[in-house]
Structure 1
Amino acid sequence: MTSPQSPSSGDYPQENAPQVIYVKENRPWYKRVGCIVGLVFALSLIAIVAGCTALLGGAVNEVDKTMNEEHTVTYSIEGDAQDASVTYNVGEAQTAQDTNVAAGWSKDVKVKGFFGPYLSVTNGINESGAITCKISANGKVITENTATGEFATASCNTTGDDLRKAFEE
C-alpha cells in the first residue's frame, strides 16, 4: 500500500497550488439576461394589447356612428294595383302597414341603424295586373321588384351598406 504523497513531494507544494476563484459579477438588474427577456416580453405584450384596444375602439366608434346615422328613403308603388297592401319598416325593427293603396303611392321615411329599408306590396283580390315596389334614396333607386297576378307580392329589401353607398355617390 502506498502512502499519500506528502505536500512537498508533489508537483506543486500546497502553499503554491493554483487556486480557482469564482467571481460573481454584480450587474444591475436591468442588465441581467433574464430581466431583459422578461422586459422585452412584457413590453411586447403591452404593445399588442394597446394596438388591439385602439382597433377595437375604432370599430366601436364606427358601429356607434352607423347606429346613429339617419337617412331618408322613399318607398313607392307603381303598376296597375288599385287595392294593394303595403308593409314597410319605419325604424330599426318597427314596421307599418297601409291597406287599400293604389299605384302611385309613395312615402318618405327616416331609417336609422343597421336595418336596411324593407318594402313589400301585395295585390288585392281581383287584381291581375303588375305591381312594382321601389326603394329610393338620394334620388337613386336602390332596389325594385315586380310581381303579377291576384295576391302577388313584390318585396324590396336592401342593406344599410346599399343605403350608405347611395348617399356617398
Structure 2
Amino acid sequence: MSTNNPGYPQGQYPQQPYPQAPYGGQYPPQAPPRKRKKWPWILGGIILLFVAMAGGCMAILGGAANEIDKEINREVTVTYRVTGNGTGSITWTDKDFNMAQETDATLPWEKQVVVSGLGKTASLTVTNSSDDGTESTCEIIVDGQVKFTQTAKGPFASAHCSGSVG
C-alpha cells in the first residue's frame, strides 16, 4: 500500500453505485426527433425559379433589342428608275420616309437612295405629262433585281410602285 493514498489499495478507487432510473426502472420517454420545416425549402425553390425566369426573360429581351437595333441601323441601297418617252412628274420616298418630287422630268430618269430604319419601305410614282402617246414605267430595284414595277399609258396616267425593300 501506498502512503499517498491512505485506505485504498493502489489502482483501486471506491466504486459508486450506478444511478437508478426513475419511472420504475425505465428511462424517461424520449421526445420524437424534430421534423425539419419544409417551407424554407419551398420558399427558396420558388425564389430561385423566379430569379431564373427573370434572368431568362432579360436575356431574351436583350437579344431581341440587339436584333432590332441592328435592323434599324442596316441600310439598303434602292434604285428608282422611270423609263418611257416624254416627260413626267416623279415622286419618291427618300431616307427616313421623306417625300421628294421632280416635276417635268425628262424620261428615262434614275435615282439612287439609301433606305434605313425598322420598316424599310420604298415608294415611286410617275405621272405622265399631257402629251398624247406618253408611256412610262416605274421600277424599284434592290440588289440588281426589280422588286416592283408598273406601267402607265396616256396623258396624265400614273404608275405607282411601292413596298418593302428590307
1:133 positional shift: 0.6
Scaled by the length of structure 2, what TM-score is found? 0.74
Coordinate RMSD, CA, aligned: 2.2
CA change 1:96–1:127 in 2 (3 A) is farther
Q: How does 1:1-169 map to 2 (within 5 A)?
A: 23=32, 25=34, 27=36, 32-80=37-85, 82-113=86-117, 114-159=119-164, 163-164=165-166
Scaled by the length of structure 1, what TM-score is found? 0.73
Contact 1:136–1:143, Cα closer than 8 Å, also in 2: yes
1:65 positional shift: 0.9
1:150 positional shift: 2.2
The CA distance in 2 between the partners of 1:158 and 1:141, in whole Å, is 12
Contact 1:118–1:156, Cα closer than 8 Å, also in 2: yes
Contact 1:127–1:151, Cα closer than 8 Å, also in 2: no
The CA distance in 1 between the partners of 2:83 and 2:29, in whole Å, is 103
Contact 1:83–1:127, Cα closer than 8 Å, also in 2: no
Higher strand share: 2
1:50 positional shift: 1.2
- The one-letter amino acid paired with 1:133 is C
Pairs aligned (count): 140
Percent identity between the aligned chains? 34
- The one-letter amino acid paired with 2:141 is S
Which segments of 5 or more consecutive residues in structure 2 lack a partner in the other structure?
1-22
Higher helix share: 1
The CA distance in 1 between the partners of 2:80 and 2:122, in whole Å, is 9
| Higher Cα Rg, which structure | 2
Q: Secondary structure at the match of 1:92?
A: helix
